[in-house]
Amino acid sequence: MDWSWEFVAEITPSLLQGLVVTVQITLLSSVVALVIGLFFAIAKMSPIFVLRQSTILVTEAIRRTPLLVQLYFLFYVLPDLGIVLSPLVAGTIGLGLHYGTYVSEVYRAGIQNVPAGQWEAARACNLTVWQTWTQIVLPQAIPPMIPPLGNYVIAMFKETPILSAITVLDLMGEALAQANFSYRYLEPITLVAFGFLTVSLCSAAIIKLLEARLNLRAA
């Protein structure tokens, strides 16, 4: 099959629309992962035994099961229980929850790297728990976390093609729709690969620049 630039021009608007959806899902899933990951990290370090152990159990269960199974559960099983989610919402929650378990380990490592003297100084100054976390711990813990967190965001972006399994018309979903309609797979799949490569490389470059700036500021 020969490459057709005419077909490329025909499908490019749909693929660009799918790329926008892919980026939107990635950003929304990233927010979900960052928020849930922070909750998981704090809960894992809680002095309350039941909360700590139950959180470990939940995160391990999520990490040890395939993302595809979790997406099918959210989109196909929950409606049987009376909870109906749109493909976009199910995909966002599924990606965010899955990667939130990995993000929680980044948070926990960063928090544990804060010197013990900082905690003691906060107690000596009679700071509340909220003040200790927001004014002392997190401002020191977050900057070193940015590179690994950025890598997880890129990983989520590259994971979005799996959402086509629950009928999300992201970049991959649009490409498959065009390919199945025209029976031409060369151009759509090649453009998808090029799109993911381009966005991933640009994102990685931005993360490196941010990391370099943080290291320069720390020095």
CA gap 178, 112 in Å, rounded: 49
What burial letters (b/e) apply to 49-61, b meaning 16+ CB within 10 Å?
Answer: eeeeeebeeebee
**Lowest-pLDDT range of 30-34, 103-107, 111-115:** 111-115
Residues spanned by the domain of 72: 5-218
Q: What is the CATH number of the domain that holds 89?
A: 1.10.3720.10
- The amino acid at residue 88 is L
State the sign of the Cα–Cα–Cα–Cα dihedral 63, 66, 67, 71: negative
Of 137, 126, 131, whose CA–CA distance to 38 is shortest? 137
Residue 219 pLDDT > 60, yes or no? Answer: no
CA gap 50, 169 in Å, rounded: 41
Report which DSSP code applies to 73. I
Residue 218 pLDDT > 80, yes or no? Answer: no
CA gap 181, 136 in Å, rounded: 57
The pLDDT tens digits for 123-181 are 888 888 788 888 888 777 877 888 889 899 999 999 999 999 998 989 999 999 999 88
113 or 21: which carries more pLDDT confidence? 21
Of 90, 97, 35, whose CA–CA distance to 63 is shortest? 97
Q: DSSP 3-state helix, strand, coil percentages of the chain (rounded to 5)?
A: 85, 0, 15
CA gap 166, 189 in Å, rounded: 19
- Average pLDDT over all residues of the chain: 90
Q: Is 169 helix (H, G, I), strand (E, B) or coil?
A: coil
The number of distinct structural domains making up the chain is 1
% the chain with pLDDT above 70? 97
12 touches 174 (CB < 8 A): no
